[in-house]
């Protein structure tokens, strides 16, 4: 049951889709938003514009991220909603990308979201309510041909798999889903993308505020389930 105010942690909330998600959640009036960014200065600048609380969260070291997430709960109270939005995009196909950059993509795009779920999911489960949204991509969907840059596509496919696994572990009271925002006009998506950050944020916000009978363990675009 929705019992406001809920507290949401949004990673990569300083710009693009993450900022749009954080703004949309804060605008509801029944969600307290922790706007996370790698640099506290960026988090503060974003949080000040949307009425959120800034937090520093570096995802390049997933073990540190897990420790920080646990610390956030002790200082800010229980976190009910986790939106894993932050990501890196490394260009190149399977032979062009370096092993170092491939590992960095997996660390930020897959292992760090898992670390945050590992830190925050059990508390949600114990309280009997939680929402976890993993920002994925059609480039990480086998059904769509894994057509993107190799490191990014592989890391998002792995994130989809983690979504399924954690959804099964946490049970029906904690809704764990992946969202494809589509091609969005951000620093990563470029200026030619057809969607605004606000349009890209619509499905993640919906998943972050699902009712108790909402889906879990799924992959969604435009509020419709899509194939993995």
The backbone torsions φ and ψ at residue 181, rounded to the nearest 5 degrees and listed phi first, read: -80, -10
Task: Write the pLDDT tens digit of every residue in 132-183.
Answer: 999 999 999 999 988 889 999 999 999 999 999 999 999 999 999 999 987 5
pTM to 2 decimals?
Answer: 0.95
CATH architecture group of domain 6-225: 3-Layer(aba) Sandwich (3.40)
So which residues are the catalytic ones? 152
List the chain domain ranges.
6-225
Spell out the residues 6+ positions from residue 155 whose beta carbon is closer than 8 angstroms to its own.
Answer: 87, 105, 106, 108, 109, 110, 140
Residue 145 CB neighbours (<10 A):
10
Task: Write the pLDDT tens digit of every residue in 30-78.
Answer: 999 999 999 999 999 999 999 999 999 999 999 999 999 999 999 999 9
């Amino acid at each position: 049951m929705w019992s406001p105010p809920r507290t949401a942690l949004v990673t990569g909330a300083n710009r693009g889709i993450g900022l749009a998600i954080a703004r949309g959640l804060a605008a509801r009036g029944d969600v307290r938003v922790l706007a996370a960014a790698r640099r506290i200065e960026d988090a503060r600048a974003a949080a000040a514009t949307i009425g959120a609380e800034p937090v520093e969260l570096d995802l390049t070291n997933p073990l540190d991220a897990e420790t920080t997430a646990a610390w956030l709960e002790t200082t800010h109270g229980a976190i009910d909603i986790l939106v894993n939005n932050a990501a890196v995009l490394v260009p190149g196909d399977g032979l062009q990308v370096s092993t170092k950059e491939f590992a960095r993509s997996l660390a930020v795009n897959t292992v760090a979201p898992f670390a945050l779920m590992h830190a925050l999911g059990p508390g949600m489960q114990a309280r009997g309510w939680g929402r976890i949204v993993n920002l994925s991509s059609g480039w990480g969907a086998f059904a769509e041909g894994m057509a993107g840059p190799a490191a990014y596509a592989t890391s998002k496919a792995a994130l989809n798999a983690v979504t399924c696994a954690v959804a099964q572990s946490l049970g029906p009271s904690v809704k764990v889903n992946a969202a494809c925002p589509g091609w969005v006009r951000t620093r990563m998506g470029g200026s030619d993308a057809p969607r605004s950050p606000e349009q890209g944020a619509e499905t993640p916000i919906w998943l972050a505020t699902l009712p108790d009978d909402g889906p879990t363990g799924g992959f969604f675009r435009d509020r419709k389930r899509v194939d993995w």
